[in-house]
Amino acid sequence: MIVLGFILFLLFLVLLLAVLLLFVPVRYVLDGSFIEGRPDGTAALSWLFGALRGTVTWHHGVMLSGSIRLFGMKLFDLREAEHERTF
């Protein structure tokens, strides 16, 4: 009986994840231009009503910043990753 309940719970979680992936839209915003042939702008992507969010900013073809956040907590930061890579 406990095994059947566990299997039903796992099936429910898989079904819930499938419904979220299929019916919650991905929102993206791109804003930029080319100045002297180099890209300049920002890009942002969010899913699950902003719970998962990613942003990237570049200026004159050089990436300045970027991050990935889950519920507002920073999971990955490109500035910190580049800083760690240089030392």
- The pTM (predicted TM-score) of the whole model is 0.66
Domain ranges of the chain: 25-86
**φ/ψ (deg, to 5) at 35:** -115, 115
Using CA atoms, how far apart are residues 54 and 72, in angstroms rounded to an integer? 11
Q: Which of 26, 28, 67 is nearest to 48 (CA)?
A: 26
Residue 53: per-residue pLDDT: 95
- The per-residue pLDDT for range 8-56, each reduced to its tens digit, is 999 999 999 999 889 989 999 999 888 788 888 999 999 888 889 999 9
pLDDT digits (tens, 9 = 90+) for 49-78: 888 999 999 887 777 889 999 998 999 888
pLDDT of residue 81: 59
- Predicted local confidence at residue 36, as pLDDT: 81
